[in-house]
Amino acid sequence: MDAPSSLPSRVRRRLARATPTGRRLAETEAQLARARAELRDARGRLKQARSRITEARHDLPTEVDAVIDRVREERLTFLSRRDLRNLAALARDVEARGVPGEVIEAGAALGGSAIVLAAAKAPERPMRVYDVFDMIPAPSERDGDDVHRRYETIRDGQAKGLGGDVYYGYREDLLAEVSASFARLGVPPAEHRVELVKGLFEETITGDGPVALAHLDGDWYDSTMTCLERIAPRLSPGGRLVLDDYYAWSGCRRAVDDYFRGREGYALQERARLHVVRRG
Ligand SMILES: C[S@@+](CC[C@H](N)C(=O)[O-])C[C@H]1O[C@@H](n2cnc3c(N)ncnc32)[C@H](O)[C@@H]1O
């Protein structure tokens, strides 16, 4: 017999479980809930796998692929070949769609991803590359333990570069090195309208012109928040931000969540990196 419907649902559930049929029903319901959760996870994994396959299939000019190969051979970035091809494809895409505005990279380190973006965009489209080209600034209390642990390693002189190279933050003149790397890889900054801007984002990112594509790779909360505040409002309709560190560093993730919470006019897309596209 069913428990009277006037009883609270918690009590009705307990009474139902007191009979063998009720117990079987409760078990079946629990199995169903688990199956639904597994299905949700599988759908999420499938979506990510699909976007990875699409992103890996880009058709890039051979000279851009050649620059990507050189950047990887010369250990100018921690980004994978696939990540670099994705960035190059986004630069080609703003050209194909005629999205107005400059290309920005904030956080260049040895210049690897910036060189790829510069090689992929049209030479006449201006690009600005912002970096302190020195030691990364300290994180703040808005960054998590992961960030503070990483920063301590860097500050204590213990960080290692790729393949045992000297970590980029300890180099004598990183700006000159990056400038030389652009030229050596066949993308001289002056001929590709690229400006390398040395200094803290807080002091250097000051323009108000339109932006077609920005690769934000400044790792920490304050660096990311500064970039978002100064660049997101300048995005052209259809323009895009790529947040390199959203899945990697707690502070970046928090800054992005804080900035876009309740803010209209932007679509967030979960790809291999987080993308933000200006609607319109
Ligand atoms: C992860 S690295 C960039 C890597 C590069 N995009 C690549 O993959 O080829 C981050 C860079 O951002 C710089 N950076 C972080 N916060 C900054 C800030 N507030 N102002 C200027 N540079 C900053 C660091 O010094 C470092 O060179």
Structure confidence by residue, pLDDT tens digits, 235-265: 999 999 999 999 999 999 999 999 999 999 9
pTM for this one? 0.84
With tokens 């992929």, the residue in question is: 120
**Sole residue written with tokens 């909360």:** 221
| Residue among 136, 200, 213, 241 to mutate when testing ligand 1 (max atoms within 8 A of CB) | 136
Amino acid present at 108:
A
The span from the CA of 79 to the CA of 92, in Å, is: 19
**Fold classification of 60-278 (topology level):** Rossmann fold (3.40.50)
**pLDDT value at residue 137:** 98
Residues of the chain with pLDDT > 90, as a percent, come to 83
Q: Which atom of ligand 1 is nearest to the CA of 215?
A: 6
Let me know: does 141 contact 107? Beta carbons within 8 Å: no
Helix H segments across the chain?
9-17, 20-56, 62-73, 81-97, 112-120, 145-155, 174-184, 201-204, 221-231, 250-260
Other Cβ atoms less than 10 A from the Cβ of 280: the count is: 10
132 pocket-lining for ligand 1 (C-beta < 6 Å) = yes
Which residue(s) pair with 278 in the sheet?
266
